[in-house]
Structure formats: structure tokens, C-alpha cells
């Protein structure tokens, strides 16, 4: 993977430096409470939080961010983001209260460790097995060789479960370790990211800025934490699912009281309170950021009102009792009044933005007009934890608009717009050609009118992707927008866009869906995944068919139907007429789909029994597309699908 080069990155423009100075004057930078909280209870760490894979690859290393230790803000970084990036530098083991500990800064997420009668209950397992191993070793170094007596996983995103195997495999009687999750946890762990996986992975590079060099002109933070953890991950099955608010579990002598919070930051999520420690944990729904209602990687739009409602309910249930509140990202806060204040502000943040978006929508404003118009009340504007380091008010209101009204603003001028390349060519023509366009754009660039410059120069890049002057001006403009951005995900997107336009980054490869992921999918999900790979135009040249699948290991039967170029399926109880019947283990189908084995090999090894047409499987496979891992985003697609 090539890295962006600081040498080609430019310095900050005067207008950017001026905007940063204005921001410094309006926000309470002298309030040091967060820095005290982030450092409180520090017990020790591993040098530079460095985590190395068995093969020697460095998976995590905070030394790369040492440039952030300067209090002096680099003018190429928004000062508020610089502050957040410095808060996210803290790493190691921290005492939350005696008996409750957190490992922070070894991953984007936190591991919370709650001591019980015999051992320790681990809340969330970080993104990777390597990170989780480092975290539990660090904990034990300071708190003794306590066994893991329970695992609680707060929600279905992989930065909270990916490392679980490190904890279960290392224990002697791991079969008896309860793994407690919210209901529908397992079903949601991968489904949110599977069907649109290739597009989401590519977009996630922009969101998290993974290929960027770590520097004051490059990657500084992700807002939610420092970066994404690299390494191995595996999904574990829960042994116990919590279904209703008020349910309690006693794990290793510690009583957890749960609150369900589905359809908030994750489709399956819960909060809990531990009376013994007067500890409230709101998972990822009340962290030190305005979170995403729709992350740039893409997903279904989240429900801002549910989010607000569950924070309000937590305040009602435990607001007067909790003496410490921690989440699964960022640092805890202590004291009943501060907890209550943060809960009220976070509750109102999501509700305000939701309600005001709807209000302005009903006045006729479209999404970008709402984003321009809406302003947080000053009480929320000045609350550091409500600032948009990960989500941002300007893209969150667009998410709310999308949730209620969709992509269309009802203006027929936007009903059937030309695609990017065709529109680009016409814009360039109307503006008097590429030279004239660039001349005007350069003048506007000098004036700091970056938002319009990226719009027009992007048209030119789509019309003429080999126009080097256009690529460079667009890259320079993205870069200044990146330097301006308070939101880490905006900064990452702009700077990666700039690097790709300068052709500094290539060969970024992300893992395809492997068998370890396929095997945890429900058969319905696997069929959904196959169906979205079906090349419609190619299917038009083949005949319709029907296959009955009979899975010998799971006992399931499915009927798959290809007709009118659409692949449909349903679970069936009884066999009837079909063109072919395949009896095989589900695990064999996984291997067939990942091409570890061919259908004829499986036949020869008797792993598949066939009645009827044995050629249909290969025919189906020949109709499936493979997706590119690295499609173009800031310039025209090099290869259009046929
Ligand atoms: Zn998370």
C-alpha cells in the first residue's frame, strides 16, 4: 500500500488559518475537564500501545501520532479536532472505580473489565484477537491473573466483538463462560455489512482514512477513537440474550441491570447499570461525540428519536443513582450532576436535530438547505461531547431527511439528472471549456470559496479525468477543506480524495468475504448475497430454472428460482417438481461459493448428491459478478460493468 506523501501535501491557506482562529475564540478551550477525565485512574500501559501480529506486522502503534503531543495546534488541523485527537491519544489500563477498569487506546473501542467474586467480567472485546489479547494481558499484569468469568457484548458492531476468541480460548473451562448480548445480536453482527459489503468497504476507507499517512497533514484521528484496528477477528455465539428492559443477570456475583436500546447506533444494542459499583454504561449511545445517524461507509439510516428516547429512559432509571458513567469509546465521567447533565445534553442533541430537521422540512427546505440553516442552541454548541467529530450536524440532518423523505427533493429538475460524466461534459462546455473553468476556479480558490470550487472542478475531472491541472486543483481544494474540518470523517474523506487525485495511493486491497464470514451467515443471507451478484443482462441469455437445496447438516430445505433475470428463494418443507435437487452440507455450499472447491470436485468426492440437472450450479456461478475492491470515487469509473 502506497502512503500519501507529506511532500506533496500543501500548507494551510490564509482563509483556513483565519477560520481556525475564529473557532478558537468561540469554544471553551480553557475547560480542561475532559483531559483530567481521560487521564484519571491511569495504572499503566504497553509502550506506545504497540501491538504486533505473530508474523511481525505492526497492527497498532500510537508512536505514529506523537506529533499530536504538542499543545500547539498545527494550522493544517482544525483546533477542535486537534483537541479531540489529543484526548484520544491516552492509552493503557485505567481504574474507573475500584473493581472496574478500562483498557483504552489499544483499539478504536474500549474494553471494560468488571471484577466479580472469582474473576473478571469483560464488557466488549475490541476489534481483533490481537488487541483483545494485549488488553487482557495488560489488565492481568496490574490486577493479577484473574480468569474471565463472563463476557458482555453491548452491540453488534465488530469493534465490540471481533476479539472475543482471545478471551474464550485462553480460559480453561471456557464452555462455562456466559456470553451475554442484546437479542438479535448475532443476526445483526454481519448482516448490516454483508449485502452491500464491497461498496461499504471501499467507502469505509474514506470514512476512516485508513491509507493516509499519520501526520498533521494527514490522518490525525477518527473522532470516535484513534484508528481502526487491524488483525484477526472471529464471531462468537452468545449463550444468553437479554430481551427486555429491567432484566437482570448475576455474573460472577455481580448484578447487571439491562436496558434495551435497539435501532439506535446499532440495530441490536443495550445499556446496563451495576448497583454494586453505581456504574452506568451506555455502550455507544452516549460518547464524547455527536455520533453518526448515517456513517459515510453507508448503512440504513439510524433512528434519532429512538436514540434520544433511550438516553432519556436511562436518565430516568439511573440518573440519580449512577456515580460514574462509562461508554465503550472515549473516557468516563464521574459525579451524579455531571452524568445527569451529559445525559440531558445528549438526549436533547438527537431530539433537537431530529425535530428541527422535520420542522424545516415541513417549511419546504431541502436537505442541503436544512444543513446550511440549522444551528445548535448555544448550550449544546459549547458542550464538547456534543460536537461533530464523528457524525456531524450537517450530514446528520441529511440522514434524517433521507429517513423520512428519501433522496428526492421533489424538484423535477432533480428527478432525472444526467450521470456524472455526461453532466460534467455539459457543464464544462457551458462554462466555455476546461481552461476557462479552471481560471475562474483558481480565482475562487484564492478567495477561499472551496465548496463551490470542488463542485465545478469535479465536473471537469469527470469530463476529462486526465486533465492534470484539474486533478491538482481539485486535490488542493479537498485538502484545504480537510484542514478546515472539525469532523474527523470529513477530514479523512477530503484528504483521501486529494491523495487519490494526485495518484499517490494505489493497490489498496481489502479482504473479500471469506469462508469464516460466510459460515456465520444464515442460509437466507447467503442466498441474498448470491442474488445481488447475479448479472441481470447476462441472465437474460439463459433459461429459467429451479433448484431445490437440501442441507444435510442444518436440515433446511430451500427452493431457488431463476426467472425474469431475478434470483428468488423460499424455505420449503416438502420437495416437489424442480429442475435439480442438490443434497449437501451448508458448509460445502460455503466452499463452493468461495471457489475453494468446484462443483465437479464436490460431486466426485460425494459431497453433493444430485437429482436432475447437475450442470445448473456451474451455470448459476457463471452468471455471478465479482466486485472490484477499489473502484474510483473522485473520478470516473475505469471499468463499467456490462
Ligand atoms: Zn464502536
| Tens digit of each residue's pLDDT (9 = 90 or more) over 460-486 | 999 999 999 999 999 999 999 999 999
Distance 555 CA to ligand 1 centre (A): 35
163 closest CA partner among 201, 193, 123: 123
Backbone angles phi, psi at 196, to 5 degrees: -105, 20
What pTM does this model have? 0.95
Q: pLDDT tens digit string along 26-48?
A: 999 999 999 999 999 999 999 99
- At residue 448, the 3 state secondary structure works out as coil
Distance 327 CA to ligand 1 centre (A): 10
Backbone angles phi, psi at 360, to 5 degrees: -70, -35
Distance 265 CA to ligand 1 centre (A): 9
Instruction: State residue 194's pLDDT score.
Output: 83
Distance 8 CA to ligand 1 centre (A): 33
Cα gap 445→440, rounded to integer Å: 9
Name the band, by pLDDT with cuts 50, 70 and 90, for residue 7: low
Distance 328 CA to ligand 1 centre (A): 7
Distance 595 CA to ligand 1 centre (A): 33
Distance 551 CA to ligand 1 centre (A): 35
Contact between residue 131 and residue 139 where contact means Cβ atoms under 8 Å apart: no
Instruction: State residue 5's pLDDT score.
Output: 52
Instruction: State residue 191's pLDDT score.
Output: 81
Instruction: State residue 513's pLDDT score.
Output: 64
Instruction: State residue 336's pLDDT score.
Output: 98
Distance 271 CA to ligand 1 centre (A): 14
Distance 284 CA to ligand 1 centre (A): 6
Give per-residue burial for 165-199: e unless 16+ CB within 10 Å, then b. Answer: bbbbeeeeeeeebebbbbbbbbebbbbbbbeebbe
Distance 362 CA to ligand 1 centre (A): 34
Distance 335 CA to ligand 1 centre (A): 24
% of the chain beyond a pLDDT of 90: 89
Residue 14 CB coordination number (10 Å):
10
Cα gap 482→429, rounded to integer Å: 29
Distance 127 CA to ligand 1 centre (A): 9
Distance 128 CA to ligand 1 centre (A): 13
Sheet holding 92-97, edge to edge: 42-44, 92-97, 100-104, 111-115, 120-123, 148-152, 179-182, 240-242
pLDDT at 1 over 60: no
Distance 61 CA to ligand 1 centre (A): 19
Better-predicted residue by pLDDT, 73 or 261: 261
Hey, what's the cell of 297?
A: 461507509
Instruction: State residue 506's pLDDT score.
Output: 59
- Category of 92 on φ-ψ map: left (φ > 0), alpha (ψ -120 to 50) or beta: left
Instruction: State residue 2's pLDDT score.
Output: 40
Instruction: State residue 509's pLDDT score.
Output: 58
| Mean pLDDT, residues 237-263 | 97
Amino acid at each position: 500500500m502506497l502512503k500519501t506523501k507529506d511532500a506533496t501535501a500543501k500548507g494551510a491557506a490564509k482563509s483556513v488559518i483565519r477560520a481556525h482562529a475564529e473557532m478558537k475564540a468561540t469554544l471553551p478551550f480553557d475547560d480542561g475537564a475532559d483531559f483530567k477525565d481521560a487521564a484519571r485512574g491511569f495504572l499503566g500501559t504497553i509502550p506506545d500501545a504497540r501491538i504486533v501480529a505473530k508474523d511481525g506486522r505492526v497492527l497498532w502503534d500510537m508512536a505514529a501520532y506523537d506529533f499530536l503531543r504538542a499543545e500547539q495546534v498545527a494550522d493544517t488541523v482544525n483546533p477542535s479536532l486537534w483537541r479531540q485527537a489529543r484526548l484520544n491519544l491516552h492509552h493503557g489500563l485505567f481504574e474507573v472505580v475500584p473493581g472496574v477498569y478500562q483498557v483504552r487506546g489499544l483499539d478504536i473501542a474500549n474494553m471494560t473489565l468488571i471484577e466479580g467474586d472469582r474473576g473478571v467480567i469483560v464488557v466488549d472485546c475490541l476489534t481483533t484477537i490481537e488487541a483483545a489479547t494485549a488488553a487482557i494481558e495488560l489488565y492481568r499484569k496490574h490486577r493479577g491473573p484473574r480468569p474471565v468469568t463472563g463476557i458482555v457484548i453491548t452491540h453488534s458492531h465488530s469493534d465490540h466483538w471481533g476479539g472475543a476468541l482471545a478471551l474464550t480460548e485462553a480460559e480453561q473451562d471456557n464452555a462455562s463462560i456466559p456470553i451475554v448480548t442484546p437479542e438479535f445480536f448475532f443476526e445483526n453482527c454481519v448482516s448490516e455489512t454483508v449485502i452491500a459489503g464491497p461498496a461499504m468497504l471501499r467507502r469505509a476507507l474514506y470514512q476512516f482514512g485508513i491509507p493516509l499517512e499519520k501526520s498533521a497533514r494527514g490522518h490525525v484521528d477518527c473522532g470516535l477513537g484513534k484508528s481502526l484496528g487491524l488483525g484477526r477477528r472471529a464471531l462468537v455465539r452468545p449463550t444468553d440474550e437479554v430481551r427486555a428492559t429491567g432484566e437482570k443477570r448475576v455474573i460472577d456475583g455481580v448484578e447487571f441491570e439491562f436496558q434495551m436500546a435497539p435501532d439506535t447506533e446499532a440495530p441490536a444494542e443495550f445499556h446496563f447499570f451495576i448497583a454494586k459499583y453505581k456504574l452506568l454504561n451506555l455502550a455507544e449511545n452516549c460518547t464524547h461525540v455527536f455520533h453518526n445517524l448515517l456513517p459515510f461507509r453507508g448503512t440504513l439510516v439510524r433512528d434519532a428519536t429512538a436514540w434520544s428516547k433511550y438516553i432519556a429512559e436511562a436518565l430516568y432509571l439511573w440518573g440519580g443513582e449512577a456515580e460514574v458513567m462509562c461508554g465503550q469509546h472515549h473516557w468516563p465521567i464521574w459525579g451524579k450532576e455531571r452524568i445527569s447533565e451529559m445525559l440531558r445534553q445528549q438526549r436533547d442533541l438527537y431530539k433537537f436535530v431530529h425535530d428541527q430537521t422535520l420542522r424545516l422540512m415541513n417549511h419546504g427546505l431541502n436537505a442541503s438547505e436544512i444543513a446550511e440553516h440549522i444551528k445548535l442552541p448555544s448550550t449544546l454548541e459549547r458542550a464538547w461531547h456534543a460536537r461533530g467529530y464523528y457524525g456531524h450536524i450537517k450530514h446528520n440532518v441529511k440522514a434524517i431527511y433521507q429517513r423520512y423523505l428519501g433522496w428526492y427533493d421533489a424538484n423535477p429538475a432533480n428527478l432525472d439528472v444526467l450521470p456524472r460524466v455526461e453532466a460534467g461534459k455539459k457543464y464544462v462546455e457551458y462554462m466555455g471549456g476546461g481552461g476557462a473553468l479552471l481560471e475562474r476556479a483558481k480565482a475562487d480558490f484564492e478567495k477561499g470559496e472551496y465548496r463551490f470550487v470542488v463542485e465545478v472542478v469535479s465536473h471537469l475531472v469527470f469530463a476529462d479525468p486526465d486533465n492534470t491541472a484539474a486533478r491538482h486543483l481539485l486535490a488542493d481544494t479537498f485538502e484545504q477543506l480537510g484542514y478546515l474540518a472539525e469532523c474527523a470523517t470529513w477530514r479523512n474523506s477530503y484528504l483521501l480524495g486529494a491523495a487519490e487525485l494526485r495518484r499517490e495511493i494505489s493497490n489498496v486491497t481489502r479482504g473479500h468475504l471469506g469462508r469464516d464470514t460466510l459460515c456465520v451467515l444464515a442460509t437466507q443471507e447467503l442466498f441474498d448475497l448470491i442474488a445481488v451478484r447475479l448479472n441481470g443482462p447476462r441472465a437474460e441469455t439463459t433459461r429459467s430454472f429451479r433448484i431445490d437445496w437440501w442441507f444435510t447438516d442444518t436440515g433446511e430445505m430451500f427452493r431457488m428460482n431463476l426467472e425474469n433475470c431475478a434470483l428468488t428463494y423460499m424455505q420449503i418443507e416438502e420437495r416437489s417438481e424442480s429442475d435439480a435437487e442438490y443434497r449437501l452440507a451448508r458448509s460445502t455450499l460455503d466452499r463452493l461459493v468461495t471457489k475453494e472447491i468446484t462443483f465437479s470436485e464436490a460431486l466426485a468426492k460425494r459431497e453433493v448428491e444430485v437429482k436432475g440437472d447437475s450442470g445448473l450450479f456451474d451455470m448459476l456461478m457463471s452468471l455471478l459478478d465479482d466486485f472490484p475492491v477499489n473502484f474510483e470515487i473522485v473520478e470516473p469509473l475505469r471499468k463499467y460493468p456490462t
